[in-house]
């Protein structure tokens, strides 16, 4: 009997221990799953905070694609949303217009420093040449309207640097529609007698099997727009084509992998940002643009 009781006691102890281990294991599994879900939600929100998702905008009729038309809310300064347009103080202002690649807290202008000049970044995430959009429940006017609003409120700067077209491709705009909008902006600026640096579209990252990537139609539109923009006589001012500075030397036309911005989707999944560069990339981008700016000072 004593042996039987000892076995029974040992069995019960082992059973209780196993139950505790199983409960602990299930708790760890549940919390791990919750953690992955929360991290994915958080990462997705962070990744999408730079630009709206593809197809988030609704194209207006072509007759309304006036790059100098008024409309929309006042543009944001340094990605904020003040109830007024923030104007710079002092003279010798270089105004940067465009999308999130040209913002003051996330794009290439952060790395531009020209003595005796001040950089005024008025670009906003999601902005496009060809249309106004709705982003984070706020109106984001086109790049042309964005530029005009600041001219009207703050006066004419010494130099304007205009970057854009990334979002236009993702909203489905053709190269002809982008060129039409840029022509309108060029005419407006020519009448203002302001010095301009146009920035060509940077090389995109190569897909390498990633689901989110530039489509063939988007790549074609990008190449057609860059070819038109860099052709002498199509726009007044100078053009900064930073393809050589940013492309992969072994795969011309594609972004250098050293400049990829990696987005962590969750604990196990990473993805290459197909619209933005990392800080090394933006530093190289800024060096290319600054060199062009300095030719017209």
**22 falls within a domain:** no
Percent pLDDT > 90 in the chain is: 55
How many domains does the chain divide into?
1
> What number is the average pLDDT over the span 15-24?
52
Coil, strand or helix: which one is 216?
A: helix
Residue 292 has pLDDT above 60, yes or no: yes
What is the pLDDT confidence band of residue 193, given thresholds at 50, 70 and 90? confident
pLDDT digits (tens, 9 = 90+) for 226-250: 999 999 999 999 999 999 999 999 9
The reported pLDDT for the residue numbered 45 is 36
How far is it, in rounded angstroms, from Cα 10 to Cα 15? 8
**63 falls within a domain:** yes
pTM of the model: 0.75
How far is it, in rounded angstroms, from Cα 254 to Cα 247? 5
> What number is the average pLDDT over the span 285-293?
98
The reported pLDDT for the residue numbered 9 is 58
Coil, strand or helix: which one is 77?
A: coil
pLDDT digits (tens, 9 = 90+) for 118-162: 989 889 889 999 998 877 667 888 999 999 989 998 999 999 999
Residue 38 has pLDDT above 50, yes or no: no
- Least confident interval from 21-25, 216-220, 241-245: 21-25
How far is it, in rounded angstroms, from Cα 178 to Cα 64? 14
Coil, strand or helix: which one is 224?
A: helix
Identify the residue with better confidence: 40 or 67: 40
**23 falls within a domain:** no
Q: How high is the mean pLDDT of the chain?
A: 78
**155 falls within a domain:** yes
Q: What are phi and psi of 112, to 5 degrees?
A: -100, 130
**210 falls within a domain:** yes
Q: How many degrees, rounded to 5, is the angle at CA 180 between CA 175 and CA 184?
A: 145
> What number is the average pLDDT over the span 83-109?
85
Coil, strand or helix: which one is 26?
A: helix
The reported pLDDT for the residue numbered 96 is 95
Q: What are the percentages of helix, strand and coil residues in the chain, rounded to 5?
A: 45, 15, 40
Identify the residue with better confidence: 112 or 70: 112
Assign residue 269 the CATH number of its domain.
Answer: 3.40.50.1110
The reported pLDDT for the residue numbered 100 is 92
Residue 66 has pLDDT above 90, yes or no: no
Identify the residue with better confidence: 24 or 285: 285
The reported pLDDT for the residue numbered 212 is 86
**28 falls within a domain:** no
Q: How are beta strands 138-140 and 133-135 bridged, if at all?
A: antiparallel
**4 falls within a domain:** no
Domain enclosing residue 81, as ranges: 49-294
Query: Helices 143-154 and 175-192: crossing angle, nearest 10°?
Result: 20
**218 falls within a domain:** yes
């Amino acid at each position: 009997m004593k042996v039987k009781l000892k076995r029974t006691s040992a069995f019960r102890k082992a059973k209780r221990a196993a139950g505790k281990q199983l409960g602990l294991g299930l708790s760890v599994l549940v919390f791990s799953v919750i953690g992955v879900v929360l991290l994915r939600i958080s990462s997705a929100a962070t990744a999408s905070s730079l630009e709206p998702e593809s197809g988030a905008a609704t194209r207006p009729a072509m007759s309304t694609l006036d790059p100098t038309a008024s409309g929309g809310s006042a543009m944001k300064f340094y990605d904020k949303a003040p109830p007024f347009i923030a104007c710079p103080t002092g003279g010798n202002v270089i105004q940067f217009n465009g999308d999130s690649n040209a913002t003051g807290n996330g794009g290439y202008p952060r790395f531009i420093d020209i003595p005796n000049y001040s950089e005024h970044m008025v670009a906003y995430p999601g902005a496009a040449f060809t249309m106004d959009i709705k982003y984070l429940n706020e109106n984001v006017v086109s790049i042309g309207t964005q530029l005009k609003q600041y001219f009207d409120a703050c006066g004419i700067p010494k130099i304007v640097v205009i970057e854009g077209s990334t979002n236009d491709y993702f909203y489905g705009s053709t190269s002809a529609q982008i060129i039409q909008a840029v022509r309108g902006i060029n005419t407006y600026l020519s009448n203002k007698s302001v010095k301009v640096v146009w920035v060509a579209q940077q090389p995109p990252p190569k897909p390498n099997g990633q689901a989110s990537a530039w489509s063939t139609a988007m790549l074609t539109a990008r190449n057609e727009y860059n070819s038109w923009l860099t052709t002498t006589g199509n726009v007044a001012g100078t053009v900064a084509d930073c393809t050589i500075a940013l492309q992969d030397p072994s795969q011309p036309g594609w972004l250098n992998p050293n400049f990829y911005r990696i987005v962590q989707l969750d604990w196990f999944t990473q993805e290459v940002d197909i619209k933005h560069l990392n800080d090394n990339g933006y530093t190289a981008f800024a060096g290319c643009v600054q060199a062009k700016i300095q030719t017209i000072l």
